[in-house]
Structure 1
Amino acid sequence: MLTTLYVVRHAHTIYTPDEQNRTLSEKGYNDAKIVQTLLADEKIDTYISSPYRRAWETIVSDASTAMLDERLRERQVAADPVKDFQGAMDRLWSQEEYAFPGGESNKNARARGLTAFQDILASYPGKRVAIGTHGNLMVLTMGHYDNQFDYTFWKQLPMPAIWKLTFDGQQYLRAESVSIRK
């Protein structure tokens, strides 16, 4: 029985340090409407999202129409905002087990995302599930299944982005990029 996960990186945001409530920008809202229409056309059975507003706003217009799963939140880089974000990413992606104080290593973030994906696959066999999440967690988790999803891939991943992953039970079969018509 094939299960399809539509893994969605959130649309463009207005940056604030408030991770939980950061909202989409005007461009992000426009792109989210396109994503939501596309997902409706794909006949999604279930919507599951990070509890961060920008993630659920990208896949649904109202948080009450999605199940929120804390495991799908973005990885915590550090306890406080880092001064050199790109330098921090270089270090985290080159040292699998390294974590800044109060932050999360690639290894730990991937394990969290993988547990969420495995639970979703077990709970919704044969269904089409949209997953609203974030770039780092998305690529780290998908990288468990397919090594094309790596740091280089993450650096060029647009906002929003949709990848369609097909599974037979827990067995990964393939990934396809879903074009977002603009």
Structure 2
Amino acid sequence: MTNLYLVRHAHSTYSADELNRPLSERGKEDARKVTEILKNESISVLISSPYKRAIQTIEGLAGIYGVDTVIEEDFKERILSEEPVDDFDSAIAKVWEDYSFSWEGGESNILAQNRGVRALEKVLERYEGKNIGIGTHGNIMVLIMNFLDKRFDFTFWKQLDMPDIYKLSFDNRRLIEVKRIWDRG
């Protein structure tokens, strides 16, 4: 059995610098809750998007488990567009309505999903039989989950918390269970 703990990053302080945007004070507090929730899950591998907010959300686990965080570029958030969009809600709805559509300089759902699934398959192959914590982002996380099970869609994405944690259990490479384990408490 391989268990992936997909962790959507905690709240961050907005800046245009996607790579280095840090967690907000609230996000840091929630990251401590993520650590508390996952501290007894026997995680032996930590992987993260290269984005600072994703790394910071799971970094407390590195000390508990005594492992380094492996950076996986393909778990970074989907690129919605090259330039900031005027209306984020309608822009994100459009790419979910048409999986092949992309805004200028952005990734379509198909492209982003393929990237995320490549990373997922690499993890499942490399770390079979292990418990793996993955720091990532809401859109790419749900696109990966959607590839595995279509019920994880735009409506599901809109209901995610920040942070949020989903445990995906695999037998060989076949998904057998998805369980939400985040509890804001």
TM-score band, normalised by shorter chain: over 0.9
User: Which residue number in structure 1 is paired with residue 178 of structure 2?
Assistant: 175
Q: Which runs of 5+ in 2 are unaligned?
A: none
TM-score, structure 2 length as denominator?
A: 0.94
- Runs (4+) off by over 3 Å: 61-64
Relative to structure 1, the CA distance from residue 119 to residue 158 in structure 2 (aligned partners, 3 Å threshold; closer, same or farther) is same
Q: Is the 8 A contact 1:56 1:63 kept in 2?
A: no
> How many Å apart are 1:62 and its aligned residue?
9.0
Identity among equivalent pairs (%): 45
For residues 154 and 181 of structure 1, the distance between their equivalents in structure 2, rounded to whole angstroms, comes to 17
For residues 39 and 21 of structure 1, the distance between their equivalents in structure 2, rounded to whole angstroms, comes to 24
SS at match of 1:31: helix
> How many Å apart are 1:149 and its aligned residue?
0.7
User: What is the aligned counterpart of 2:91 among 88, 99, 107?
Assistant: 88
SS at match of 1:14: coil
The Cα offsets for residues 102-153 of structure 1, whole Å up to 9 and x where unpaired, read as 1000000000000101110000111000010000000001011112210000
Q: Is the 8 A contact 1:57 1:63 kept in 2?
A: no
> How many Å apart are 1:37 and its aligned residue?
2.3
Q: Is the 8 A contact 2:38 2:61 kept in 1?
A: no
User: Which residue number in structure 1 is paired with residue 80 of structure 2?
Assistant: 77
Q: Is the 8 A contact 1:23 1:54 kept in 2?
A: yes
Q: How does 1:15-34 map to 2 (within 5 A)?
A: 15-34=14-33
SS at match of 2:39: helix
Aligned residues: 181
